[in-house]
Amino acid sequence: MKYKILVVEDNKNDAEQLTNACHQGGFQTSLADSGEKALEMVWTWKPDMLLLDLLLPGIGGKEVCRILREDERGRAIPLIMISQAKDRGDVLAGFAAGTDDYLTKPFEPQELVARMNAVLRRYHKKNGESEVLCVGKVMLDLSKHRVEVDGAGVKLTGKEFGLLEVMMKKSGRVLSRQFLLEYVWGYEEEVLTRTIDMHIARLRQKLGDEGRQRIQTVERFGYRFSDE
């Protein structure tokens, strides 16, 4: 399911940047160019999250946030303020109004998406609830640290599990060896990129036909976990 993100921004360039970042992160978007329109769309379009600029024509961003947080349904909508205002007073006022996170412009699209996912996790994850990723016949349960292919359990090492987790989370996208190296091994350890190739080969073997079909090599770059 694609999360629906309402981008509330009156500046066209900023709106385009925010929308592009959301699309890169796999989100669906709609745009509101004023506070009034945002409040209307919250009830009609029913977004899963708001990205809210503070300087808006008419009702400002902080006021939009305050209005939402005073409403029972509005309190359940994740919200991130994105503003040029960097002073501690502005940040504190944003949190006092009820924002879940506060990013200043210019922002890094990757960080925005990571923060959006973090806030969405916060709202959608209940106590003890498992986080399960499914692509094709492969199922990975993060909370139980368990992997199944077509219902049958597969034993993986910690690094293999980490590799599969990041590839499934970003299924369909090409991931460089460097990225995988940093994500799974971290910067602390000196690991050769060849090590990744060895782990990928073992992962393919353990996941059988499904692994060989889905884990695709992108020559001289890295790997992709196909979701097709």
Partner 1 sequence: MERRLLMIDDDIALGKLVQEFLTTEGWSCYWVDNGEEGYQEALALKPDVILLDLNLPGVGGMELCHRMKGDPRLSHIPVVILTGAYKEVRDRVRGLERGADDYILKPFDLDILLARLNSISRVKGKVA
Interface positions with partner 1 (CB under 8 A): 75-76, 88, 91-92, 95-96, 98-101, 108, 110-111, 114-115, 117-118, 121-131, 142-145, 162, 166, 169, 182-183, 186, 188
The sign of the CA dihedral 172, 16, 179, 155 is negative
Complex with partner 1: residue 135 or 161, whichever CB lies closer: 161
Q: How many residues appear in the chain?
A: 228
Min dist. Cβ of residue 165 to partner 1 (A): 9
Complex with partner 1: residue 96 or 198, whichever CB lies closer: 96
Complex with partner 1: residue 2 or 75, whichever CB lies closer: 75
Complex with partner 1: residue 117 or 213, whichever CB lies closer: 117
Complex with partner 1: residue 58 or 162, whichever CB lies closer: 162
Print the SS3 string covering the chain. CCCEEEEECCCHHHHHHHHHHHHHCCCEEEEECCHHHHHHHHHHCCCCEEEEECCCCCCCHHHHHHHHHCCCCHHHCCEEEEECCCCHHHHHHHHHHCCCEEEECCCCHHHHHHHHHHHHHHHHCCCCCCCEEEECCEEEECCCCEEEECCEEECCCHHHHHHHHHHHHCCCCEEEHHHHHHHHHCCCCCCCHHHHHHHHHHHHHHHHHHHHHHEEEECCCEEEECCC
Complex with partner 1: residue 76 or 152, whichever CB lies closer: 76
Min dist. Cβ of residue 68 to partner 1 (A): 13
Min dist. Cβ of residue 141 to partner 1 (A): 9
Min dist. Cβ of residue 21 to partner 1 (A): 12
Min dist. Cβ of residue 101 to partner 1 (A): 7
Min dist. Cβ of residue 32 to partner 1 (A): 23
